[in-house]
Amino acid sequence: MIDGHLVPDAIVLRVVKHRLDDPDVQRRGFLLDGFPRTEPQATALIELLGDNPLDAVVNLEVPAAVVRKRLLVRRVCTRCETPTVARNREHTVYCQNCGGTAVRRPDDSPESIERRLAAYEEQAGPLLAVFAKAGMLVEIDSLGSPDDVFDRVMRALQPTLWGTGEAVG
């Protein structure tokens, strides 16, 4: 992971299955972030969930150039793990929460970011096609402020999660 490589599918699926079987998840539901990343993982997840399928799959759409820019200034506190944003690429910042030092995550090196973006470029199309075919895919334009994006997500998911209208397609 430090080199920007991803964990093998069999391990990821075993970890996900183990957690999804927990009583609190069974009772309250769940949100997966960053998984599945590939078409085989998506197919395996759909199979794993069987008669209790996902309500929706949200794709936060951001151009690669913007993702690259965001990742290069991302910092995380070494003491309390609060995420923060640097003003430029090299800048070390102090944590707003605890005053600790916030640094770049080891997997946010420029080389690692390029590897992840290249992997995404290759895998995203087939991955999203699986969920589009299953009628679960919700595409969200994710440029703008976190609040704007959050509002778009909530509006898009409302019919699916609270059943006030037709299904999101």
Our CB check for Zn ion shows the closer of 93 and 98 to be: 98
Residue 31 Cα distances to 25, 34, 38, 76, 135, angstroms: 10, 10, 17, 22, 18
Using left for φ > 0, alpha for ψ between -120 and 50, and beta otherwise, residue 72 falls in alpha
From 12, 16, 76, 95, residue interacting with Zn ion (rule: CB under 5 A): 95
Is residue 76 close enough to count as binding Zn ion by CB under 5 A? no
Q: How far is the CB of 107 from Zn ion (least distance, A)?
A: 19
Please, which of residues 126-155 interact with Zn ion by CB under 5 A? none
From 59, 84, 97, 109, residue interacting with Zn ion (rule: CB under 5 A): 97
From 9, 68, 100, 149, residue interacting with Zn ion (rule: CB under 5 A): 100
Q: What is the number of other CB atoms lying within 10 angstroms of the CB of residue 122? A: 11
- Residue reference for tokens 């997840």: 45
User: Where do contacts with Zn ion occur on this chain (CB under 5 A)?
Assistant: 77, 79-80, 82, 95, 97-98, 100
